[in-house]
């Protein structure tokens, strides 16, 4: 726990960390790692995820490598502010699926002295900024961009290519629906549609 050393006031110092990248880049794995370290340090940790994310578990955040940590599913970002009481660290997974209020929620938590760790896709399946993530980058104190491996050529991948024909923006899925691609391979497929 970090404390501001300004005169006689010892207040907790909050901040916002973002972990972002394409599908299969290790965002959730890194989120779980940071949250576990906070738990080992005896900090009070709460984790939230959008209610629509039920791929592996309804009540846990689960990485593609099957690592998991307990979480509270919520239907809107406002619920996080109501539930995050007397905590040191808040983790938020799949932030791109939350409403735009998630940005203000994270700022409010950090202003209260809470460390906020957010994981989410930076781009949607079309290669465009995803939901509230651009605004999250703007207010973050720290940003970590992680990369997957391109399933076509083996280079670093930063795009989440959707293999199905659906044009729905939100489509929760896994390797059966998505594959990570580098810029070159993503553009080749996009231009051949």
Digit-coded pLDDT (tens) for 111-156: 999 999 999 999 999 999 999 999 999 999 999 999 999 999 999 9
* Residue 125 domain-assigned (yes or no): yes
Per-residue pLDDT tens over the stretch 95-105: 999 999 999 99
* Residue 191 domain-assigned (yes or no): no
Euclidean distance between the first and the last CA atom of the chain, given in angstroms as a whole number: 51
Q: CB within 8 A of 82, min separation 6: which ones?
A: none
**Which pLDDT score, from 0 to 100, does residue 2 have?**
43
* Residue 161 domain-assigned (yes or no): no
* Residue 19, domain extent: 3-146
DSSP state of 13: -
> How many structural domains does the chain have?
1
**Which pLDDT score, from 0 to 100, does residue 83 have?**
87
* Residue 178 domain-assigned (yes or no): no
Distances (CA, A) of 153 to 67, 146, 158, 182, 185: 27, 18, 13, 8, 8
Structure tokens at 160: 């989440």
Instruction: Quote the percentage of the chain above a pLDDT of 70.
Output: 76
* Residue 84 domain-assigned (yes or no): yes
Please tell me the distance from the alpha carbon of residue 159 to that of residue 22, in angstroms, as a whole number: 5
* Residue 57 domain-assigned (yes or no): yes
* Residue 140 domain-assigned (yes or no): yes
Active centre residues (catalytic): 94
- The torsion defined by the Cα of 48, 50, 52 and 57, in degrees rounded to 10, comes to -20
pLDDT of 185 strictly over 50: yes
pTM above 0.95, yes or no: no
CATH of the domain at 51: 3.40.50.300
* Residue 151 domain-assigned (yes or no): no
């Amino acid at each position: 726990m970090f404390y501001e050393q300004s005169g006689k006031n010892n207040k907790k110092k909050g901040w916002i960390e973002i972990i972002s990248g394409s599908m299969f880049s290790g965002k959730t794995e890194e989120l779980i790692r940071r949250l576990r370290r906070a738990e080992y340090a005896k900090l009070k940790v709460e984790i939230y995820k959008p209610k629509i994310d039920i791929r592996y578990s309804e009540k846990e955040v689960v990485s593609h490598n099957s690592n998991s940590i307990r979480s509270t599913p919520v239907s809107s970002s406002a619920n996080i502010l109501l539930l995050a009481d007397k905590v040191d660290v808040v983790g938020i997974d799949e932030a791109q699926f939350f409403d735009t209020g998630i940005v203000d929620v994270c700022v409010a938590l950090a202003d209260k002295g809470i460390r906020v760790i957010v994981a989410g896709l930076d781009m949607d399946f079309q290669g465009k900024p995803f939901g509230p993530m651009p605004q999250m980058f703007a207010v973050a104190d720290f940003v970590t961009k992680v990369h997957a491996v391109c399933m076509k050529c083996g280079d670093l991948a930063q795009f989440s290519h959707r293999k199905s024909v659906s044009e729905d923006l939100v489509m929760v899925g896994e390797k059966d629906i998505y594959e990570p691609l580098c810029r070159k391979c993503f553009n080749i497929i996009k231009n051949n549609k």
